[in-house]
Structure 1
Amino acid sequence: MKRLLLSSLLLLTSGLLYSQDDIHKSQEFKLAALPYYSYGKGLGMTSADSLFQLNIRFRMQNRVTYFDYEEGESNYEAQIRRLRLRLDGYVGDPRFQYALQLSFAPGDVGAIEEGENLNIIRDAAVSYRANRHWNIIFGQTKIPGNRQRVNSSGSLQLTDRSINNAKFNIDRDFGFQVYYLNELKDKFSWNVKTAITTGNGRNWDGKDTNVALTGKLELLPLGVFTKGGDYFEGDIAREKTPKFMISGVFHQNNDSQYDRGQQGNLLFEQKDLQSTFIDAVFKYNGWAAMYSYMNRMTKKPITYGFDADGKEAMSYVFAGHGMDYQVSYTFPSNYEIIGRVSTQNVHDDLYKIQVPDAKQYSIGLTKYIWEHAFKLQTEFTIDDLNYFDGSHERNWYIRFQIEIGI
Structure 2
Amino acid sequence: MKLKLTALAVMLCCVLTSHAQETETNSPKFGKGLFNLVGKDSTWSMKIGTRMQFLGSSIWNEDDGDLGNPQSNMLLRRARLKFDGFALTPKLKYKIELGLSNRDMSGASYYTHNTPRVVMDAVMKWNFHGNFVLWFGQTKLPGNRERVISSSNLQFVDRSILNAGFNIDRDMGIQLHHQIAITEKFVITEALAVSQGEGRNVTTGNLGGHQYTGRVELYPFGKFEGKEDYVGSDLKRTATPKLALGVSYDFNDNAVRIRSNSGSYMETDTGLFETDITTLFVDAMFKYRGLSIMAEYADRDADSPVAINSDGTPTGDIVQIGSGYNFSAGYLFKNNWELAGRYSNTDFKEITGRDTTNEYTLGVSKYIVGHKLKVQTDITYADNAIKSDKLACRLQFEIQF
Shared fold by TM > 0.5?
yes
**1:286 corresponding residue in structure 2:** 290
Does residue 401 (structure 1) correspond to residue 396 (structure 2)? The answer is yes
Q: Is the contact made by 1:185 and 1:223 (CA closer than 8 Å) also made in structure 2?
A: no
For residue 267 of structure 1, report the CA deviation from its aligned partner: 1.1
The 8 Å contact of residues 210 and 256 in structure 1, kept in 2 or not, is answered as: yes
Counterparts of 2:398 and 2:215 in 1: how far apart (Å)?
Answer: 30
DSSP 3-state at the match of 1:369: strand
- 1:42-90 CA distances to partner (integer Å, 9 max, x unpaired)? 2311111101100111111001101112378321000000000110111
Q: Please state if 1:66 is matched with 2:58.
A: yes
Q: 1:102 maps to which residue?
A: 98
1:39 to 28, 32, 35: 28
Q: SS at 1:187's partner residue?
A: coil
Whichever residue aligns with residue 316 of structure 1, its letter is I
Determine the structure 2 residue equivalent to 1:237. Answer: 236
Aligned with 1:96: secondary structure? strand
1:267-291: per-residue Cα shift (whole Å, max 9, x none)? 1321110000001111101111111
Output the CA distance in 2 between the equivalents of 1:107 and 1:98. 25
Alignment correspondent of 1:142: 140
Cα distance, 1:183 vs structure 2: 6.3
Q: In structure 2, what is the equivalent of residue 76 of structure 1?
A: 72
- 2:375 is matched with 376
Deviation at 1:130, TM superposition (A): 2.3
Instruction: Extract unaligned runs of 5+ from structure 1.
Output: 1-33
SS in 2 for 1:69: strand
Given that 1:185 and 1:224 are in contact with CA atoms closer than 8 Å, whether structure 2 keeps it comes out as no
Q: Which residue of 2 aligns with 1:171?
A: 169
Aligned twin of 1:130:
128
Alpha-carbon distance in 1 for matches of 2:286, 2:98 = 32
TM-score by length of 2: 0.86
The code of the aligned residue for 2:257 comes to: Y
C-alpha distance in 2 between matches for 1:295 and 1:117 = 32
Equivalents in 1 of 2:295, 2:374: separation in Å? 24
| 1:347 equivalent in structure 2 | 349
Distance 2:108 2:193 in 1: 30
Partner of 1:272: 276
- Cα shift at 1:300: 3.3
Give the letter aligned to residue 335 of structure 2. S
Whether the 8 Å contact between 1:58 and 1:86 is mirrored in structure 2 is yes
- Do residues 51 (structure 1) and 43 (structure 2) align? yes
What RMSD, in angstroms, separates the aligned Cα atoms of the two structures?
A: 2.1
2:219 corresponding residue in structure 1: 220
**CA deviation digits over 1:278-307, x for unaligned, max 9?**
01111101111111001110123122349x
Q: In the TM superposition, what is the alpha-carbon distance from 1:111 to its structure 2 partner?
A: 5.6
Alignment of 1:294-313 (within 5 A): 294-305=298-309, 313=315
What is the alpha-carbon distance in structure 1 between the residues aligned to residue 398 and residue 304 of structure 2? 42
Cα deviation for residue 97 of structure 1 reads 1.4
In structure 1, C-alpha distance between the alignment counterparts of 2:322 and 2:53, rounded to whole Å: 31
Whether the 8 Å contact between 1:146 and 1:278 is mirrored in structure 2 is yes
Opposite residue 340 of structure 1, the aligned amino acid is R
- For 1:113 and 1:299, how far apart are their aligned partners in 2? 27
The one-letter code sitting in structure 2 at the alignment partner of 1:91 is A
Contact 1:125 1:141 in 2 (8 A): yes
For residue 152 of structure 1, what is the aligned residue in structure 2? Answer: 150
Secondary structure of 2:240 counterpart: coil
TM-score by length of 1: 0.85
What does the per-residue CA deviation read over 1:138-192, in whole Å, with 9 as the maximum and x for residues that have no partner? 1000010100000000110111101010010000000010001236997111100
Q: Which residue of 2 aligns with 1:206?
A: 204
Matched residue count? 362
1:148/1:282 CA distance change after superposition, 3 Å: same
C-alpha distance in 2 between matches for 1:198 and 1:327: 35
SS in 2 for 1:149: helix
- How big is each residue's C-alpha offset from its partner over 1:230-269, in whole Å with a ceiling of 9 and x where there is no partner? 0101111101110000000000001111111121101132
In structure 1, the residue corresponding to 2:274 is in which secondary structure? strand
Check conservation: 2:306, 2:314, Cα contact below 8 A. no
Q: Deviations over 1:293-326 (max 9, x none)?
A: 01110123122349xxxx9740111110000010
State the Cα deviation string for residues 330-379 of structure 1 (Å, max 9, x = none). Answer: 001100001000111112422xxx42111111000000011111100011
Residue identity opposite 1:345 in structure 2: D
Q: 1:124 to 1:248 in 2, by over 3 A?
A: same
Q: Tell me how far 1:205 sits from its aligned partner.
A: 1.2
- Classify the secondary structure of the residue corresponding to 2:266: strand
Aligned to 1:337: 339
Tell me if structure 2 keeps the 8 A contact 1:183–1:224.
no
2:318: which partner in 1? Answer: 316
